[in-house]
Structure 1
Amino acid sequence: MIHNIWIAKDTGECLYHRRYNDDINVDENLITSFLSAIEIFAQNVDSGCEQLETKRYKFVYAQTDNTVTVACIDKQDDDAYIKKEVEAIQNEFKSRFSKMLENWNGRVELFSTMDEFVDKRLSSFNSILGSFKNKKLELNEMIIKQKPKLKLSPQQEKVISLIRYKGTATLQDICKWMKLTEPDAEIAAKSLLHNNIIREVTSA
């Protein structure tokens, strides 16, 4: 699940912060200063920071010339699709406020108008991350007729193979028949759900 999202100036000041639970309750300016410093360091030695991992969390980055957006998710979550949402939020922020930031007076309340956009983008992510362990999964109709264009991981290939063979399968089925660990099966299935390759079976 997603815990927090921050948008900061490249100099470390927190411009925008949205908290979705209290698991990480640290002063936003303190944490954005740290996250921005990591990004500056990464740019000096490489081409920037894609993500930072701790024991429990992932911090997923998106950057523009003068801002950095970072989302905190659980470590077991697949960062591929939260990255897309973070980039969309970053681009929207830039579109709305890039000119304002040129002469920014330090008032962060101006950026609170991002709340609705951010919540909408991240609600789809959190709904995908909802519990579906006991729900049946099936292939989308288009995927039944043709092979997905998306490059798939071996774990994702196994999920698709089993569902194609059985018609429907639960996460427990995938673990049992394809010899995947539950975290691997869950990550693969979540990514396939996000990319509309598989879907939850709807009740009749």
Structure 2
Amino acid sequence: MAKLIQDIWILRDSGIVVFHRVFDNHLDAQLFGGLMTTLNLFAEEMSSGGLSNFELSNKRFSIIKKNRFLFIANSSKDKKVKKVNQEIETIVKKFFDKYSEEELNDFSGNINIFSSFEKEIEGSLEATIRRFQKAFW
């Protein structure tokens, strides 16, 4: 099965990025988290539900909000939104299966506890070599 998701960020509703896996780290993850949280809050004020996705250049950013967390993933615009959202929902389930409600409620700001999550979702994420091949082949 083709991997649909290129990059992913998991944020608390406060804007703190607790986990991210990004290929091109030219933007600070916490700055990105603050921006996305602000945009989502603005969208919630304008319409019920907040942002679900938006497009920039050749990428689509898809957003799922659950239990005070925002799950933001980007994918190529040629990928079907429904399939990408299904993949994000799979990641959401794995996240809440791995981390107990108590762990998440007692979160003190130490994001290191989430660093091993990439192993749980590597099957959903486009690999570095594939991105390299797309750029140069």
TM-score by length of 1: 0.55
Q: 1:58 pairs with 36, 57, 60, which one?
A: 60
Residue deviations 1:41-85 (CA, integer Å, cap 9, x gap): 222322222101112211111111310000011223322211111
The answer to whether the Cα contact below 8 Å between 2:5 and 2:126 also exists between their aligned partners in 1 is: no
- Return 5+ residue gaps in structure 2 as ranges: none
Q: Which residue of 1 aligns with 2:110?
A: 107
Q: 1:46 pairs with 48, 54, 61, which one?
A: 48
Q: Which residue of 2 aligns with 1:35?
A: 36
Partners of 1:91 and 1:41 lie apart in 2 by 26
Q: SS in structure 2 opposite 1:104?
A: coil
Which ranges of 4 or more aligned residues in structure 1 deviate by more than 4 Å? none
Q: Which residue of 2 aligns with 1:160?
A: none
Residue deviations 1:90-144 (CA, integer Å, cap 9, x gap): 12212332321211121111012211121123359xx8xx98xxxxxxxxxxxxx
Pairwise CA RMSD of aligned residues? 2.3
Q: Which residue of 1 aligns with 2:77?
A: 75
* Structure (1 or 2) with the greater helix fraction: 1
Greater RCO, 1 or 2 (C-alpha within 8 Å, sep 6+):
2
Partners of 1:64 and 1:79 lie apart in 2 by 18
Q: Which residue of 2 aligns with 1:93?
A: 95
Partners of 1:96 and 1:105 lie apart in 2 by 17
The answer to whether the Cα contact below 8 Å between 1:93 and 1:114 also exists between their aligned partners in 2 is: yes
* Structure (1 or 2) with the greater strand fraction: 2
Q: Quick one: structure 1 residues 2 and 123, their matched pair in 2 at CA, closer, same or farther if it must change by over 3 Å?
A: closer
Work out which of the two has the higher radius of gyration on C-alpha atoms and give 1 or 2. 1
Q: Which residue of 2 aligns with 1:16?
A: 19
- Return 5+ residue gaps in structure 1 as ranges: 132-204
TM-score by length of 2: 0.79
The answer to whether the Cα contact below 8 Å between 1:63 and 1:90 also exists between their aligned partners in 2 is: no
| Matching residue's letter, 1:77 | K
Task: State the aligned residue count.
Answer: 125
